[in-house]
Amino acid sequence: MKYYNSKSVNATNILDVRSQVEAALKEEGFGILTEIDIQATIKKKLDKAYPPYLILGACNPVFADKALQAEPHIGVLLPCNVIIREIGNQKFEVSAMDPAAAMAAVENTAIEPLTTEVRQKLENVLNNL
């Protein structure tokens, strides 16, 4: 099972793409809770060069609340991660987790409709870039 969906975009730098992603997430009711700069972290911890790569922890509070009410341990699978990584000269890939794949191991039918809705919202984010 594929665990993510992605789209390539052209931009001059990763911060431009991040702004586009943040705006598209906001349109779908998501905010960014966390941000990890992999390039900076790998350089600092391993002194190794790494291409631009951001991990954004996106959360839609309405769906997070519904999921937590249905399955209290679901927090180990939250937030929905979205990555932005450089794949070439002024070309970036934006990838979003597939919540249905991530939640497949959870044996609780109450979250299935939620994962379908969140999947659609994340697909909308990618389509709107």
Q: Which single residue is written with the structure tokens 């906001």?
A: 26
CA distance 88 to 12: 11
- Residues 6+ positions from 38 with CB-CB distance below 8 Å: 50, 53, 54, 55
Predicted local distance difference test score (pLDDT) of residue 102? 87
Extract the residue ranges of the chain whose pLDDT is less than 50.
Answer: none
The pTM assigned to this predicted structure is: 0.94
Reported as a single tens digit per residue, the pLDDT across 17-33 is 999 999 999 999 999 99
Predicted local distance difference test score (pLDDT) of residue 62? 96
Q: Could you give the domains of the chain?
A: 4-127 (3.30.310.70)
Strand partners, 4: 97
CA distance 6 to 95: 4
